[in-house]
Structure 1
Amino acid sequence: MRALQTAAAVEALSLIVLLLNLATVHVPALASALGPIHGCAYLIAIVLTWTLTKTTRIRAISIIPGFGALLVLCSLRSNPQV
Structure 2
Amino acid sequence: MMLLRVAARTELISLLALLANLATVHVPWIPTLLGPLHGCAYLLVIGATVAATHRTRARLLAVVPGIGGLLALRSIRLDQLRAKNLHV
TM-score normalised to structure 2 length: 0.87
Q: Hey, what does 2:71 align to over in structure 1?
A: 71
Unaligned runs of 5+ in 1: none
User: Percent identity between the aligned chains?
Assistant: 49
Superposed displacement of residue 10, structure 1: 0.4
Superposition CA RMSD, Å: 0.9
Greater shift, 34-43 or 71-80, is seen at 71-80
Unaligned runs of 5+ in 2: 84-88
Larger radius of gyration: 2
User: SS of the residue aligned with 1:79?
Assistant: helix
Greater shift, 64-73 or 39-48, is seen at 64-73
Q: Hey, what does 1:5 align to over in structure 2?
A: 5
* Residue-pair matches, total: 81
TM-score normalised to structure 1 length: 0.93
Which whole-Å deviations, capped at 9, do the CAs of 1:15-74 have from their partners, x for residues lacking one?
110111011110111011100000000000100000110011111111111111010111
Find runs of 4+ consecutive structure 1 residues off by over 3 angstroms.
Answer: none
